[in-house]
Amino acid sequence: MDRAIDIRRFEAADIEACYAISLATGLAGSDASYLYVDPQLMGHIYIAPYAQFEPNLVLVVEDGDGVAGFVAGATDTEAWEHRLERDWWPPLRSRYPDPSDVPPEMQTSDQRRAFMIHHPVSTPAEVTARFPAHLHMNLLPRLQRRGIGSTLLNAWRQAADGRGARSMHVGVNRANERAIRFWRARGFEALTLEAPALGRTLWMGCEGQ
């Protein structure tokens, strides 16, 4: 790995960059910035709560041009989702109107994310029972295909292992074929659930090593 690359724990000053990364990778791994009026909506869902409640399980990747990637997660997904319902979603629900009265096919990207804030979908119990921990990883294109993702994942797994996490899962957009290949190559297997698969999320799990 390039010596100029630094993988380290998240610091409060990194949050703006992490918000930007969430948006720049928010369209099945590609730039979603042109889709949103509010550029913070993606980050409100995928990075900010981890920075707030689990900063020790947020790692960032920094190169000479700044922070360009992060990994974040939690060791107990069920407890995490309860925490979000209690402490994270309510203030955001006051800020963003519930767009439930707009048909899904007519919702803007901002409205779809606002709907997620008001009606978050719980991770299937079949997934959390076998793979309690979860994580998200986002890298800007300049860091991709350089082995950095694998190094970042290993660093996160070491941190999570220190918190008692063994088995973990990710939820991947089915349209993001590159991400699916990445996780599969690192021991994550696509999960077949009893309930029919709905939506765009492919659940993938990895047993502890």
Give 135-164 pLDDT, tens digit per residue: 999 999 998 888 899 999 999 999 999 898
Tokens of 206: 């990895």
Is the separation of the CB atoms in 37 and 110 below 8 Å?
A: yes
Given a cut of 60, whether residue 21 has pLDDT beyond it is yes
Cα 152 to Cα 158: distance, rounded to the nearest angstrom: 10
Looking at the domain assignment, is residue 21 inside a domain? yes
Looking at the domain assignment, is residue 192 inside a domain? no
Is the separation of the CB atoms in 205 and 55 below 8 Å?
A: no
Q: What whole-number percentage of the chain has pLDDT above 90?
A: 81
What are the tens digits of pLDDT across the range 172-209? 999 889 999 999 999 999 998 876 656 789 999 998 76
Looking at the domain assignment, is residue 188 inside a domain? no
- The predicted pLDDT at position 208 comes to 73
Cα 138 to Cα 147: distance, rounded to the nearest angstrom: 14
Average confidence (pLDDT) over 33-47: 97
Looking at the domain assignment, is residue 46 inside a domain? yes
- Domain span at residue 77 reads 6-165
Looking at the domain assignment, is residue 123 inside a domain? yes
Give the alpha-carbon dihedral of 194, 177, 186, 160, to 10 degrees: -70
- The predicted pLDDT at position 197 comes to 57
- The predicted pLDDT at position 4 comes to 84
Domains identified in the chain, total number: 1
How much is the mean pLDDT over the chain? 93
What CATH number should be reported for the domain holding residue 145?
A: 3.40.630.30
